[in-house]
Protein backbone atom coordinates (compact mmCIF):
# COMPACT_ATOMS: atom_id res chain seq x y z
CA UNK A 1 0.00 0.00 0.00
CA UNK A 2 2.89 2.37 0.69
CA UNK A 3 4.01 1.90 -2.91
CA UNK A 4 0.54 2.87 -4.09
CA UNK A 5 0.91 6.22 -2.34
CA UNK A 6 4.31 7.03 -3.78
CA UNK A 7 6.53 5.64 -1.02
CA UNK A 8 9.51 3.35 -1.53
CA UNK A 9 9.20 0.94 1.44
CA UNK A 10 12.47 -0.80 0.57
CA UNK A 11 14.36 2.48 0.91
CA UNK A 12 12.62 3.08 4.21
CA UNK A 13 14.09 -0.19 5.47
CA UNK A 14 17.61 0.70 4.38
CA UNK A 15 20.09 3.06 5.96
CA UNK A 16 21.53 6.30 4.69
CA UNK A 17 24.99 7.81 4.96
CA UNK A 18 23.98 9.27 8.34
CA UNK A 19 22.35 5.96 9.38
CA UNK A 20 19.00 7.77 9.63
CA UNK A 21 16.38 8.37 6.98
CA UNK A 22 15.08 11.93 6.79
CA UNK A 23 11.52 10.76 6.13
CA UNK A 24 9.70 8.69 3.53
CA UNK A 25 11.54 8.17 0.26
CA UNK A 26 9.71 8.56 -3.04
CA UNK A 27 8.92 5.47 -5.09
CA UNK A 28 10.97 6.96 -7.94
CA UNK A 29 14.17 6.55 -5.93
CA UNK A 30 16.34 3.68 -7.18
CA UNK A 31 19.13 2.51 -4.81
CA UNK A 32 20.82 0.79 -7.77
CA UNK A 33 21.34 4.21 -9.38
CA UNK A 34 22.01 6.27 -6.26
CA UNK A 35 23.40 4.76 -3.06
CA UNK A 36 21.73 7.18 -0.65
CA UNK A 37 18.60 9.34 -1.02
CA UNK A 38 19.15 13.07 -1.48
CA UNK A 39 16.84 15.93 -0.52
CA UNK A 40 14.72 15.70 -3.69
CA UNK A 41 14.17 11.96 -3.14
CA UNK A 42 12.07 12.53 0.00
CA UNK A 43 8.35 13.25 0.11
CA UNK A 44 7.45 16.85 0.93
CA UNK A 45 5.35 17.52 4.06
CA UNK A 46 2.21 17.92 1.93
CA UNK A 47 2.94 14.64 0.13
CA UNK A 48 3.45 12.87 3.47
CA UNK A 49 0.12 14.17 4.83
CA UNK A 50 -1.65 13.20 1.62
CA UNK A 51 -0.18 9.67 1.84
CA UNK A 52 -1.28 9.30 5.48
CA UNK A 53 -4.79 10.44 4.59
CA UNK A 54 -4.94 8.17 1.55
CA UNK A 55 -3.86 5.07 3.45
CA UNK A 56 -6.09 5.90 6.41
CA UNK A 57 -9.05 6.40 4.10
CA UNK A 58 -8.43 3.10 2.38
CA UNK A 59 -7.86 0.84 5.35
CA UNK A 60 -9.01 1.42 8.89
CA UNK A 61 -8.37 -2.11 10.12
CA UNK A 62 -8.28 -5.76 9.10
CA UNK A 63 -10.78 -8.24 10.55
CA UNK A 64 -11.36 -11.99 10.30
CA UNK A 65 -7.65 -12.76 10.48
CA UNK A 66 -6.94 -10.26 7.73
CA UNK A 67 -9.54 -11.57 5.31
CA UNK A 68 -11.85 -8.52 5.55
CA UNK A 69 -10.94 -4.84 5.30
CA UNK A 70 -12.81 -2.11 7.13
CA UNK A 71 -12.63 1.01 4.99
CA UNK A 72 -12.96 4.51 6.35
CA UNK A 73 -13.84 7.93 5.00
CA UNK A 74 -12.33 9.83 7.87
CA UNK A 75 -10.27 12.33 5.92
CA UNK A 76 -10.76 14.03 2.59
CA UNK A 77 -8.93 16.86 0.91
CA UNK A 78 -10.34 19.79 -1.00
CA UNK A 79 -8.75 22.63 -2.90
CA UNK A 80 -8.66 25.89 -0.95
CA UNK A 81 -9.33 28.50 -3.63
CA UNK A 82 -8.99 31.45 -1.25
CA UNK A 83 -5.64 30.31 0.22
CA UNK A 84 -4.32 29.43 -3.23
CA UNK A 85 -5.26 32.92 -4.44
CA UNK A 86 -3.39 34.47 -1.53
CA UNK A 87 -0.33 32.48 -2.60
CA UNK A 88 -0.69 33.83 -6.14
CA UNK A 89 -1.05 37.38 -4.83
CA UNK A 90 2.14 37.13 -2.75
CA UNK A 91 4.10 35.85 -5.77
CA UNK A 92 2.59 38.51 -8.06
CA UNK A 93 3.30 41.30 -5.53
CA UNK A 94 6.93 40.23 -5.40
CA UNK A 95 7.29 40.33 -9.18
CA UNK A 96 5.43 43.63 -9.65
CA UNK A 97 7.85 45.34 -7.24
CA UNK A 98 10.53 44.87 -9.89
CA UNK A 99 8.53 46.92 -12.38
CA UNK A 100 7.35 49.78 -10.17
CA UNK A 101 9.20 52.10 -12.58
CA UNK A 102 9.17 51.50 -16.32
CA UNK A 103 10.64 53.24 -19.33
CA UNK A 104 9.24 50.93 -21.96
CA UNK A 105 6.39 48.55 -22.70
CA UNK A 106 5.49 45.87 -20.16
CA UNK A 107 3.87 42.43 -20.57
CA UNK A 108 1.63 41.53 -17.64
CA UNK A 109 0.84 37.87 -16.82
CA UNK A 110 -2.62 36.62 -17.76
CA UNK A 111 -2.30 33.18 -16.19
CA UNK A 112 -0.44 31.47 -13.35
CA UNK A 113 0.06 27.70 -13.50
CA UNK A 114 -1.22 25.90 -10.37
CA UNK A 115 0.43 22.52 -9.88
CA UNK A 116 -1.87 19.82 -8.51
CA UNK A 117 -5.01 21.40 -9.98
CA UNK A 118 -6.84 20.86 -13.25
CA UNK A 119 -7.24 24.62 -13.62
CA UNK A 120 -4.92 27.62 -13.46
CA UNK A 121 -5.34 31.07 -11.95
CA UNK A 122 -6.22 33.78 -14.46
CA UNK A 123 -5.67 37.54 -14.22
CA UNK A 124 -7.75 40.24 -15.89
CA UNK A 125 -6.12 43.67 -16.03
CA UNK A 126 -7.49 47.16 -16.43
CA UNK A 127 -6.00 50.64 -16.12
CA UNK A 128 -7.68 52.98 -13.67
CA UNK A 129 -6.81 55.75 -16.14
CA UNK A 130 -4.82 55.61 -19.38
CA UNK A 131 -3.26 59.04 -19.46
CA UNK A 132 0.35 57.94 -19.76
CA UNK A 133 0.10 54.43 -21.20
CA UNK A 134 -2.34 52.15 -22.96
CA UNK A 135 -3.24 48.76 -21.47
CA UNK A 136 -4.58 46.04 -23.74
CA UNK A 137 -6.69 43.92 -21.37
CA UNK A 138 -6.79 40.98 -23.80
CA UNK A 139 -3.00 40.68 -24.22
CA UNK A 140 -1.89 42.23 -20.92
CA UNK A 141 0.53 44.52 -22.77
CA UNK A 142 1.17 48.01 -21.42
CA UNK A 143 2.28 50.40 -24.17
CA UNK A 144 4.11 53.42 -22.79
CA UNK A 145 3.51 56.76 -24.49
CA UNK A 146 6.12 59.52 -24.48
CA UNK A 147 6.00 61.88 -21.52
CA UNK A 148 8.10 64.91 -20.68
CA UNK A 149 7.84 64.41 -16.91
CA UNK A 150 7.78 61.53 -14.49
CA UNK A 151 4.20 60.35 -13.96
CA UNK A 152 2.47 57.45 -12.23
CA UNK A 153 -0.41 55.23 -13.25
CA UNK A 154 -2.59 52.79 -11.31
CA UNK A 155 -3.58 49.41 -12.72
CA UNK A 156 -6.07 46.95 -11.26
CA UNK A 157 -6.05 43.17 -11.65
CA UNK A 158 -8.71 40.57 -10.85
CA UNK A 159 -7.13 37.21 -10.02
CA UNK A 160 -9.54 34.31 -10.43
CA UNK A 161 -9.13 30.70 -9.38
CA UNK A 162 -12.17 28.50 -9.67
CA UNK A 163 -15.14 30.49 -8.38
CA UNK A 164 -13.07 32.78 -6.14
CA UNK A 165 -11.62 36.15 -7.09
CA UNK A 166 -9.16 38.55 -5.51
CA UNK A 167 -8.49 42.15 -6.55
CA UNK A 168 -5.00 43.66 -6.61
CA UNK A 169 -3.83 47.17 -7.47
CA UNK A 170 -0.37 48.41 -8.39
CA UNK A 171 1.05 51.84 -9.01
CA UNK A 172 3.51 52.05 -11.90
CA UNK A 173 5.75 55.05 -12.48
CA UNK A 174 6.42 56.05 -16.06
CA UNK A 175 9.87 57.60 -16.48
CA UNK A 176 10.17 60.78 -18.53
CA UNK A 177 11.31 60.25 -22.13
CA UNK A 178 12.35 62.53 -24.95
CA UNK A 179 10.24 63.39 -27.99
CA UNK A 180 11.46 60.32 -29.85
CA UNK A 181 11.72 56.65 -28.92
CA UNK A 182 15.52 56.58 -28.53
CA UNK A 183 15.30 56.40 -24.73
CA UNK A 184 12.57 53.79 -24.68
CA UNK A 185 13.71 50.47 -23.22
CA UNK A 186 12.98 47.01 -24.60
CA UNK A 187 9.71 45.40 -23.58
CA UNK A 188 9.86 43.75 -20.14
CA UNK A 189 7.81 40.72 -19.10
CA UNK A 190 6.42 39.99 -15.63
CA UNK A 191 6.87 36.28 -14.93
CA UNK A 192 5.19 34.40 -12.07
CA UNK A 193 6.50 30.84 -11.69
CA UNK A 194 4.16 27.88 -11.26
CA UNK A 195 2.76 27.46 -7.74
CA UNK A 196 1.45 24.45 -5.82
CA UNK A 197 -2.24 24.30 -5.02
CA UNK A 198 -3.16 24.75 -1.34
CA UNK A 199 -5.33 22.00 0.15
CA UNK A 200 -7.77 21.94 3.04
CA UNK A 201 -7.91 18.71 5.08
CA UNK A 202 -11.45 17.76 6.14
CA UNK A 203 -12.45 15.31 8.88
CA UNK A 204 -15.67 13.30 8.83
CA UNK A 205 -16.84 10.38 10.97
CA UNK A 206 -17.75 7.02 9.53
CA UNK A 207 -20.26 5.46 11.91
CA UNK A 208 -20.21 2.17 9.99
CA UNK A 209 -17.15 1.16 12.02
CA UNK A 210 -19.36 0.48 15.04
CA UNK A 211 -20.93 -2.54 13.34
CA UNK A 212 -17.54 -4.27 13.38
CA UNK A 213 -16.20 -3.25 16.72
CA UNK A 214 -15.94 -0.36 19.13
CA UNK A 215 -12.64 1.50 19.16
CA UNK A 216 -11.81 3.79 22.08
CA UNK A 217 -8.68 5.88 21.53
CA UNK A 218 -7.12 7.44 24.60
CA UNK A 219 -3.74 9.04 25.04
CA UNK A 220 -2.66 9.28 28.67
CA UNK A 221 0.75 9.73 30.20
CA UNK A 222 1.07 6.01 30.87
CA UNK A 223 -0.39 4.72 27.59
CA UNK A 224 1.64 3.12 24.81
CA UNK A 225 0.56 5.90 22.48
CA UNK A 226 1.77 8.71 24.76
CA UNK A 227 5.34 8.28 23.55
CA UNK A 228 4.15 9.31 20.08
CA UNK A 229 1.21 11.66 20.37
CA UNK A 230 1.35 13.86 23.49
CA UNK A 231 3.00 17.29 23.60
CA UNK A 232 5.79 15.78 25.74
CA UNK A 233 6.20 12.68 23.58
CA UNK A 234 9.77 11.47 23.11
CA UNK A 235 9.42 9.61 19.81
CA UNK A 236 7.73 12.27 17.68
CA UNK A 237 8.42 16.01 17.72
CA UNK A 238 6.15 18.28 15.70
CA UNK A 239 7.93 20.62 13.30
CA UNK A 240 6.53 22.86 10.57
CA UNK A 241 10.01 23.16 9.05
CA UNK A 242 10.12 21.07 5.86
CA UNK A 243 13.69 19.95 6.61
CA UNK A 244 12.67 18.70 10.07
CA UNK A 245 9.19 17.44 9.25
CA UNK A 246 10.33 13.79 9.23
CA UNK A 247 10.54 14.04 13.03
CA UNK A 248 6.75 14.56 13.08
CA UNK A 249 5.84 11.07 11.87
CA UNK A 250 6.96 7.46 12.14
CA UNK A 251 8.98 6.59 9.06
CA UNK A 252 8.74 2.88 9.81
CA UNK A 253 5.95 0.75 11.29
CA UNK A 254 5.89 0.95 15.07
CA UNK A 255 4.91 -2.01 17.21
CA UNK A 256 2.42 -0.91 19.88
CA UNK A 257 0.82 -3.70 21.88
CA UNK A 258 -0.80 -6.11 19.43
CA UNK A 259 -0.74 -3.60 16.56
CA UNK A 260 1.67 -2.16 14.02
CA UNK A 261 1.01 1.55 13.60
CA UNK A 262 2.08 4.61 11.67
CA UNK A 263 1.82 7.88 13.63
CA UNK A 264 1.83 11.48 12.50
CA UNK A 265 1.72 14.57 14.69
CA UNK A 266 0.27 17.66 12.98
CA UNK A 267 0.52 19.98 15.97
CA UNK A 268 1.26 20.11 19.67
CA UNK A 269 0.81 22.45 22.58
CA UNK A 270 0.51 22.79 26.33
CA UNK A 271 -2.67 22.18 28.29
CA UNK A 272 -4.95 25.23 27.86
CA UNK A 273 -5.29 27.66 30.76
CA UNK A 274 -7.92 30.32 31.37
CA UNK A 275 -5.40 33.06 30.59
CA UNK A 276 -4.24 31.32 27.41
CA UNK A 277 -7.86 30.81 26.32
CA UNK A 278 -8.60 34.51 26.87
CA UNK A 279 -5.58 35.49 24.76
CA UNK A 280 -6.61 33.06 22.03
CA UNK A 281 -10.15 34.48 21.94
CA UNK A 282 -8.82 38.02 21.66
CA UNK A 283 -6.40 36.97 18.93
CA UNK A 284 -9.17 35.18 17.03
CA UNK A 285 -11.45 38.20 17.34
CA UNK A 286 -8.67 40.36 15.93
CA UNK A 287 -8.08 37.97 13.04
CA UNK A 288 -11.81 37.83 12.29
CA UNK A 289 -12.09 41.58 11.79
CA UNK A 290 -12.89 42.44 8.20
CA UNK A 291 -12.34 45.78 6.51
CA UNK A 292 -14.88 46.70 3.87
CA UNK A 293 -14.85 49.61 1.49
CA UNK A 294 -12.83 50.86 -1.43
CA UNK A 295 -12.57 53.99 -3.57
CA UNK A 296 -9.77 55.88 -1.85
CA UNK A 297 -10.16 59.55 -2.78
CA UNK A 298 -8.37 62.81 -1.96
CA UNK A 299 -10.46 65.41 -0.10
CA UNK A 300 -10.20 67.86 -2.99
CA UNK A 301 -11.66 65.29 -5.38
CA UNK A 302 -14.74 64.80 -3.20
CA UNK A 303 -15.22 68.55 -2.70
CA UNK A 304 -15.19 69.12 -6.46
CA UNK A 305 -17.71 66.30 -7.01
CA UNK A 306 -20.07 67.82 -4.43
CA UNK A 307 -19.79 71.29 -5.98
CA UNK A 308 -20.46 69.90 -9.44
CA UNK A 309 -23.52 68.00 -8.20
CA UNK A 310 -24.87 71.17 -6.51
CA UNK A 311 -24.06 73.34 -9.52
CA UNK A 312 -21.69 75.51 -7.49
CA UNK A 313 -18.35 77.05 -8.69
CA UNK A 314 -14.98 75.78 -7.47
CA UNK A 315 -14.22 79.34 -6.39
CA UNK A 316 -16.09 78.49 -3.19
CA UNK A 317 -13.20 76.24 -2.15
CA UNK A 318 -11.01 77.74 0.60
CA UNK A 319 -7.55 76.23 0.98
CA UNK A 320 -6.12 76.08 4.51
CA UNK A 321 -2.91 74.75 6.06
CA UNK A 322 -2.89 71.21 7.42
CA UNK A 323 -3.50 70.95 11.15
CA UNK A 324 -0.71 69.65 13.40
CA UNK A 325 -0.57 65.87 13.35
CA UNK A 326 -2.62 65.80 10.16
CA UNK A 327 -3.23 62.27 8.84
CA UNK A 328 -1.81 61.96 5.34
CA UNK A 329 -4.02 59.14 4.21
CA UNK A 330 -7.00 56.98 5.15
CA UNK A 331 -7.12 53.69 3.26
CA UNK A 332 -8.96 50.39 3.62
CA UNK A 333 -7.78 47.09 2.18
CA UNK A 334 -10.87 44.85 1.73
CA UNK A 335 -9.02 41.86 0.24
CA UNK A 336 -9.56 39.60 3.29
CA UNK A 337 -13.34 40.18 3.20
CA UNK A 338 -13.42 39.69 -0.57
CA UNK A 339 -11.44 36.44 -0.40
CA UNK A 340 -13.02 34.80 2.67
CA UNK A 341 -16.55 36.25 2.66
CA UNK A 342 -16.84 36.77 -1.10
CA UNK A 343 -17.86 40.34 -0.26
CA UNK A 344 -18.07 42.92 -3.01
CA UNK A 345 -19.43 46.48 -2.97
CA UNK A 346 -22.95 46.81 -4.35
CA UNK A 347 -22.77 50.60 -4.66
CA UNK A 348 -19.76 52.24 -6.25
CA UNK A 349 -18.49 55.58 -5.00
CA UNK A 350 -19.65 57.57 -8.05
CA UNK A 351 -23.22 56.38 -7.37
CA UNK A 352 -23.05 56.45 -3.57
CA UNK A 353 -21.88 60.08 -3.38
CA UNK A 354 -24.84 61.16 -5.51
CA UNK A 355 -27.28 59.25 -3.27
CA UNK A 356 -25.68 60.84 -0.18
CA UNK A 357 -25.97 64.39 -1.57
CA UNK A 358 -29.57 63.74 -2.60
CA UNK A 359 -30.43 62.62 0.94
CA UNK A 360 -28.91 65.74 2.52
CA UNK A 361 -30.92 67.86 0.08
CA UNK A 362 -34.15 65.99 0.84
CA UNK A 363 -36.67 67.16 3.46
CA UNK A 364 -35.50 64.48 5.90
CA UNK A 365 -31.86 65.39 5.40
CA UNK A 366 -32.46 69.14 5.77
CA UNK A 367 -34.40 68.57 9.02
CA UNK A 368 -31.60 66.40 10.42
CA UNK A 369 -28.97 69.01 9.46
CA UNK A 370 -30.94 71.82 11.08
CA UNK A 371 -31.21 69.87 14.32
CA UNK A 372 -27.47 69.25 14.31
CA UNK A 373 -26.55 72.89 13.64
CA UNK A 374 -29.17 74.62 15.81
CA UNK A 375 -27.11 74.34 18.97
CA UNK A 376 -29.79 72.32 20.73
CA UNK A 377 -27.35 69.50 21.32
CA UNK A 378 -25.36 71.84 23.64
CA UNK A 379 -28.36 72.01 25.96
CA UNK A 380 -28.56 68.22 25.97
CA UNK A 381 -24.86 67.94 26.86
CA UNK A 382 -25.18 70.46 29.68
CA UNK A 383 -28.25 68.71 31.05
CA UNK A 384 -26.69 65.25 31.07
CA UNK A 385 -23.03 65.93 31.79
CA UNK A 386 -22.61 69.22 33.72
CA UNK A 387 -23.44 67.71 37.11
CA UNK A 388 -21.68 64.41 36.44
CA UNK A 389 -18.59 63.92 38.62
- Residue 178 confidence (pLDDT): 58
% helix, strand, coil for the chain, step of 5: 30, 20, 45
User: Would you place residue 92 in the very low, low, confident or very high pLDDT band (cuts 50, 70, 90)?
Assistant: very high
Query: Cα dihedral sign for 37, 43, 48, 50?
Result: negative
What's residue 179's pLDDT?
Answer: 54
Computed on alpha carbons and rounded to an integer, the radius of gyration of the chain in Å comes to: 31
Residue 120 confidence (pLDDT) = 94
pLDDT at 360: 92
Of residues 330 and 81, the one with the higher pLDDT is 81
8 A C-beta contact, residue 98 and residue 83: no
Question: Alpha-carbon distance 212 to 254, whole Å?
Answer: 24
pLDDT for residue 80: 85
CB 131 within 8 A of CB 151: yes
How far is the C-alpha of 258 from the C-alpha of 256, rounded, in Å?
6
* For residues 313-331, average pLDDT: 82
Rounded to whole angstroms, how far apart are CA atoms 171 and 127? 10
SS3 state at 309: helix
Contact 213, 98 (CB under 8 A): no
The pLDDT of 99-107, averaged and rounded, is 84
* Mean per-residue pLDDT over the chain, rounded: 76
Task: Give 279: exposed, middle or buried? Use CB within 10 Å, 0-12, 13-18, 19+.
Answer: exposed
121-127 vs 151-161, strand pairing mode? antiparallel
Predicted local distance difference test score (pLDDT) of residue 159: 94
CA separation for the pair 246, 313 (Å, rounded): 72
Name the band, by pLDDT with cuts 50, 70 and 90, for residue 209: very low
- Specify the higher pLDDT residue, 108 or 335: 108
Amino acid sequence: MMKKYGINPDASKSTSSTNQLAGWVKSTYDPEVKEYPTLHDYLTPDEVIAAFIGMYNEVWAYTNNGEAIITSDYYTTSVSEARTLQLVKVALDEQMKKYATIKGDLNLPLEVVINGSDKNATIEWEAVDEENFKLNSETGIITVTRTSSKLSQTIKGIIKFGETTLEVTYKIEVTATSSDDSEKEETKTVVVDALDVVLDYNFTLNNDISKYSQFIWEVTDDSDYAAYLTSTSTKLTYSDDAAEFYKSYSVKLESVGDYYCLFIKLGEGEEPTLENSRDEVIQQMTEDLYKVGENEKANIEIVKIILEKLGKPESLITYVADRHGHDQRYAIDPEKAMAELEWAPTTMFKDGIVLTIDWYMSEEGRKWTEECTSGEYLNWIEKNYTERK
